[in-house]
Amino acid sequence: MKKILSSIIALAVLAGVAVAQEGFSTNTAVYTKEKPILSTGLPELAERKTAGWYVGTYDYALDGGAVGDIALDCVVPDNFIVYDGLIEVVTPVTPVTNMCSLKLNAAGDILAASTNLSATLVDTIPVGTAATAVKMTADRTLTVTFTSAATAGKFRVWLYGHQGL
């Protein structure tokens, strides 16, 4: 039985699956029956995503289009590092002269203020490099800022990254 269990654990670890067995450890993590504890000794990080996508949606029909900041339905946790992303434009933001920006930590850190969202796909500022990555300094809500009132539009912001320390 012990040999079978060891084989199953070895296969699961090779496949990247977290194995919950008291006292079992790998080079990167220790798992218990209750919850994973990262090797950093910071169990609170185990409650958060270690890597993945955060998605925020703007919809004029639900959010309105007032000048200024509009908080989207996306909270990115403290120390998360956003290093890639894109904006999927479902319905172009109108009027076309309306420029908007997207921020997490600071104005325009996800999308510069000179951008109109009329193309189907739009690049974010983080483009997969350390130079363009944005590390959260606290839990942050993704926010769109309009320079003039929007009259229509819907888009999704897809942000990818990893939980930092």
Which CATH architecture describes the domain 51-163?
A: Sandwich (2.60)
Positive or negative torsion for Cα 105, 139, 153, 148: negative
pLDDT in tens, 95-154: 988 889 999 999 999 999 877 888 889 999 999 999 999 999 999 999 999 999 999 999
The pair phi, psi for residue 14, each rounded to 5°, is -60, -35
What pTM did the predictor assign?
0.69
What are the domain boundaries of the chain?
2-47, 51-163
45 forms beta bridges with: none
Between residues 148 and 50, the one the model is more confident about: 148
| Whether the predicted pLDDT of 83 surpasses 50 | yes
